[in-house]
Amino acid sequence: MDDSPPRTDKLAPRNAALSDEAIAWIVHLGSGDADDRDRADFDDWCRRSPAHAAAAAEAASMLDRVGATQAAETHRELGQAFRAPEARHLSRIPRRAVLTGGAAAAVAAGVVGSSVFGPASGWIADHATGVGERRKIALNDGSTVWLNTASALSVDFSARERRLTLHDGEALFDVASDETRPFTVLSGEGRARAMGTVYSVRRRGAVSDVVVKEGVVDVHNGRDGGHDWARVTAGHHIAYGRDILSAAQPIDADSATGWVRGKLIFNRRRLAEVAQEIERYQHGKVMVLGDRLRQLQVTGVFELADMDALLRAISATTHARITTLPLLTIIH
């Protein structure tokens, strides 16, 4: 990772907890949920000491780099009921924490979304996982499916075909060989077909990515066997969408599917991309402030069961600070 010296700031307070509390205040005040009493309380908080005032100035300056409004809006839309601002350094809210007040209203309005509760498609799927959950599924043909975080899968087997639909998220398929019934996974505007092999499919909005670990997979960018197709061999991956079918590219399939073994594996991945991966496995959003930090490269093997250790490693090797509010993590 980066070996540059720690970042210095003339206004940076010595107390990390004080800085986190200041960030929580600034985010709350920009969320649209603050009232006159909140603003008066914040003024009183700033007057407690020069350190409080310096922490507030640093937080405002830092958030201005990406827009305090952006952070506040993210925080508000995730439904944080925020009355007495608190921030906890490198801590996370429990998965099953009870939502009250503004959070309950946000859920009712449907604004919290899959980043907190998992995909809505889980209601119509045969199998689904919540945020941070993984599941192993044994199919009646002898195949095995591993379903990753926030994913939803439907299964439709017939005498002629084994057809599955990945509505959201990611799954790895260890396909039992059956030459009379192809194994087809539909995802977005395309499909991946195999006989007996091991491969994963990840849906990213309108684009899906197929990673072949063993065997051969035929990929079409049309659900009914569109005109564009490619044969993908072991150790390669391909992306497709309605009008997209990339060339197959080499990939470390063991690393790409490390999540099956409970690992997140990065090899010179940009911190901005790492943050997106972290976001998949925990509730809320992860923001990286500043182009310098976003471009830093991360290499390492991390346990999915201990995301805080990953955040600590990022902090130790990049000299970045990690501020964790309920449902919002800021790397800065």
pLDDT tens for the chain, residues 1 to 332: 444 433 333 333 346 677 778 777 777 776 667 788 877 887 888 888 878 777 777 777 666 655 444 555 554 554 443 333 444 333 333 322 333 333 333 333 333 444 444 565 556 799 999 999 999 999 999 999 999 999 999 999 999 999 999 999 999 999 999 989 999 999 988 999 998 899 999 999 889 999 999 999 999 987 665 568 999 999 999 999 888 899 999 999 999 999 999 999 999 999 999 999 999 999 888 989 888 999 999 999 999 999 999 999 999 988 888 988 777 888 98
Count Cβ atoms below 10 Å from residue 189 Cβ, excluding itself.
Answer: 18
Assess whether the region 116-130+135-258 and the region 262-332 belong to the same CATH fold: no
Q: What does residue 60 show for φ and ψ, rounded to 5 degrees?
A: -65, -40
Residue ranges per structural domain of the chain: 8-87, 116-130+135-258, 262-332
Note the pTM of the prediction, 2 decimals.
0.72
**From the candidate CATH numbers 1.10.600.10, 3.10.310.30, 3.30.360.10, 3.55.50.30, the one assigned to the domain spanning 262-332:** 3.55.50.30
Residue ranges with strand state E in 216-312: 216-220, 229-233, 236-241, 244-245, 249-250, 263-270, 285-288, 297-303
Count Cβ atoms below 10 Å from residue 94 Cβ, excluding itself.
Answer: 7
In CATH, what class is 116-130+135-258?
A: mainly beta
Nearest one of 2, 101, 15, 97 to 59, comparing CA atoms: 15
Nearest one of 194, 199, 189, 203 to 244, comparing CA atoms: 189
pLDDT reported for residue 133: 96
Q: What does residue 283 show for φ and ψ, rounded to 5 degrees?
A: -75, 145
Virtual torsion, Cα 101, 119, 287, 251, nearest 10 deg: 170
- Between helices 16-29 and 36-46, what is the axis angle to 10°? 150
Nearest one of 260, 245, 162 to 210, comparing CA atoms: 245
